[in-house]
Structure 1
Amino acid sequence: MEQLNRRQVSKTGQYYGHGKLLLSGEYFVMDGAKALALPLNLGQGLQVRYSPSFTPRLHWKSFDVNGNLWFEAHFEFWHFECLDSTPAPEVLKLQQILREVRKINKHFLRDEVDIHVETQLDFPLNWGLGSSSSLLYVVAQWAYVSPFELLFNVEGGSGYDVACAQSNRPILYQLKGAQPSWQAVDFDPPFKDQLYFIYLGRKQNSKEAIKNYRQMGPFDRSLVAEVSSLTEQMIAAETLTEFEALIEKHQELVGTTLEMPQVKQERFFDYWGEVKSLGAWGGDFALVTSHLSHEKTKDYFMRHGCHTFIPYRQLVLVGKNQLVSADLRDKKPVDYTNITSTYIAQTAVNSTNGQLLH
């Protein structure tokens, strides 16, 4: 015990990754198309605490947006064997991530200390805003490994979501060969108050969507070039009318090429604005445009079963360092049943323990 007492360990660490939405270039971004990606005000934090121990273990707790523990796990350090009798699928996924980190950084978790990790999500798990990508990013930061190498080895995909996790403004993302490349762009449209996000009600399996896309390809390079051109035009659009025309072209191109129904034709055929699928088609969030009032637009989608309705400016980071490290232990419960424009703003404040900067 005397030896243990001499080994005082007080080191802690906090890491944060932003959530994401893919506004353009979905699917084709994996073949080199330019994509417009949006980092969000909401994301995921990871807090690490170290304590002396004769039998080092990793103790992991993950909390949802309401501060409820949604999974817990315990691992030994040698092979990251789970010490729990019947590990849940989420625990096995975490085990895969930890083992992959060890392959990249052989010195990861070699100290003779207990390690206590807590993660905290700022958004509901079923929203598809990047619970996996933000987790991979914060783990990579903690472990001193490349978040892209970790993502490509564990999940696959284009990597735009990991780029969003570390960005605080919209980005133009592109795969050049197998190398991720991105740059910040000034996408803060003057018509942003006429843009909204709606939740379509079901989380998409990104890995399955990627698999289906790969089975349909390869595609002509002219398609990739056309998607890139639409992305660049969307960034430069100065009016809502111009932006809506580009959305319509983008939806038509992707839907026709991949033989997939467009969400507006399928669910909102009588809507006066445009509806743009984000990321994998068929679920998660969509962007909608409207020249009518906030109230009339919201009422339309409420009547069509979309009860999560969020103004663009409430969700998207536009260049300010709005988020700082969260105290993961002081999470306040949130009711997402009838979310409103002001409610999502308050949620963002709560999610960082009142430390949202304006």
Structure 2
Amino acid sequence: MSVLQKFKSNGKLLLTGEYTVLDGALSLALPARLGQSLEVYEMEKHPKKTVWIAYKNDGKLWFKTVLDIHDNKIEETTNLNFSKKLLHIFKQVQKLRSVKLQNHVGYEFTTRLDFPENWGLGTSSTLINNIAQWAQVNPYKLLEKTFGGSGYDIACANANTPITYQLKEDELKNINKVELSSEITENLIFIYLNQKQNSREGIQHYKQRKKSQRLIDDISKITQKITNSKITFNQFRTLISEHEQMISEFIKLDPVKKVLFNDYPGFIKSLGAWGGDFIMAEKFEFTEEYFKNKGYDVIKNYKDLIR
């Protein structure tokens, strides 16, 4: 059995526009250096069989299943819920008229994560993007029919630099490469909050509130200013703090700094759905010691985490 194809997708972080990206706010998204790979083998001796093997970032087996996609059956599994999700994804691939699943060839898929699955860097989006590349279907359409969301994470999966992302009417997406100055990136640090946040729950919480065009416009303006090549770090600091306060007031949740790090002298910002995953903080000489003393050991500099 020889390697048929290999794919790789980047993880992601959303620096501006959390929640509001769903309603068309111009948002700043960062592709991660860490991602997920996919290897696909063709199994001539086992037509109709689909074997899926997933490994964690430490090389340990995470999940294995054997599916009959054409008859919609799970034959073996170590996780029934995830097998059902995979079957659903493959059914949507078929509906998108992928030529890959029109015949009865058997396949073995092997995935490998570069990051712990609970970090919130995009296990779902990298999975969808890899499958879409293999199946030669639109990854945004596949995401829409499976996990949902704005699609910024799919854009990051295929990007090699920071990007601005904005949903337009008629399913159009405005995606542009941007460059952040070293004055900004060298003064940022990212901290994992030791818990995975369910982004779909966060989205539901946001959608329960009446859409605010003013908030969307204000967040878009902040993103425009942050991505201006002439911005200083002092200006960046002010804009990030304003962004955090705007989102806090709209979703009626206290900012993470107020909840957990009220004595920290610099800014702290949630990235993505509030309540878990990574946060971004202003970097000082004592920053790593500060967060480690509070029990947060996963601390990454910008250049180590972001492309």
TM-score, length basis structure 2: 0.95
Partner residue in 2 for 1:152: 144
Q: Does 1:115 align with 2:82?
A: no
> Shift of the alpha carbon at 1:110?
3.4
Deviation per CA, 1:251-270: give whole Å up to 9, x if none: 01000111111001111111
> Shift of the alpha carbon at 1:50?
1.1
Q: Does 1:96 align with 2:96?
A: no
Alpha-carbon contact 1:128-1:204 (below 8 Å) kept: yes
> Shift of the alpha carbon at 1:311?
0.5
Q: Does 1:306 align with 2:296?
A: yes
Q: Does 1:185 align with 2:175?
A: no
1:227-266 alignment to 2 at 5 Å? 227-236=219-228, 238-266=231-259
Deviation per CA, 1:224-278: give whole Å up to 9, x if none: 1100001111122633221111111000100011111100111111111110100
Tell me the SS of whatever aligns to 1:84: strand
1:1-358 alignment to 2 at 5 Å? 10=2, 12-53=4-45, 55-84=47-76, 87-105=79-97, 107-177=99-169, 178-219=171-212, 221-236=213-228, 238-290=231-283, 292-293=284-285, 296-317=286-307
Alpha-carbon contact 1:80-1:98 (below 8 Å) kept: no
Distance in 2, matches of 1:32 and 1:260, equals 22
The worse-fitting range, judged by mean Cα deviation, of 204-213 and 126-135 is 204-213
Cα distance change, pair 78–254 in 1 and its aligned pair in 2 (3 A)? same
Unaligned runs of 5+ in 1: 1-8, 318-358
The one-letter code matched in structure 2 to 1:157 is G
Cα distance change, pair 315–86 in 1 and its aligned pair in 2 (3 A)? closer
- When you count strand as a share of all residues, which structure comes out higher? 2
The worse-fitting range, judged by mean Cα deviation, of 187-196 and 89-98 is 187-196
Q: Which has the larger radius of gyration?
A: 1
The one-letter code matched in structure 2 to 1:240 is F
Alpha-carbon contact 1:39-1:170 (below 8 Å) kept: yes
The worse-fitting range, judged by mean Cα deviation, of 40-49 and 111-120 is 111-120
- In the comparison of the two structures, how many residue pairs are matched? 305
Tell me the SS of whatever aligns to 1:111: coil
Query: Percent sequence identity over matched residues?
Result: 38
Deviation per CA, 1:164-203: give whole Å up to 9, x if none: 0000000000000232221111224323222100001111
Partner residue in 2 for 1:328: none
Distance in 1, matches of 2:6 and 2:111, equals 10
Tell me the SS of whatever aligns to 2:75: coil
Distance in 2, matches of 1:64 and 1:11, equals 20
Distance in 2, matches of 1:252 and 1:77, equals 47
Cα distance change, pair 50–10 in 1 and its aligned pair in 2 (3 A)? same
Distance in 1, matches of 2:79 and 2:255, equals 39
Cα distance change, pair 166–270 in 1 and its aligned pair in 2 (3 A)? same
Tell me the SS of whatever aligns to 2:186: helix
> Shift of the alpha carbon at 1:142?
0.3
Distance in 2, matches of 1:43 and 1:240, equals 29
TM-score, length basis structure 1: 0.82
Cα distance change, pair 141–85 in 1 and its aligned pair in 2 (3 A)? closer
Unaligned runs of 5+ in 2: none
Cα distance change, pair 272–153 in 1 and its aligned pair in 2 (3 A)? same
The one-letter code matched in structure 1 to 2:294 is H
Tell me the SS of whatever aligns to 2:69: coil
The one-letter code matched in structure 2 to 1:147 is P
Deviation per CA, 1:123-154: give whole Å up to 9, x if none: 00000000000000000000010000001111
Distance in 1, matches of 2:267 and 2:48, equals 55
Alpha-carbon contact 2:52-2:66 (below 8 Å) kept: yes
> Shift of the alpha carbon at 1:112?
4.0
Tell me the SS of whatever aligns to 1:71: strand
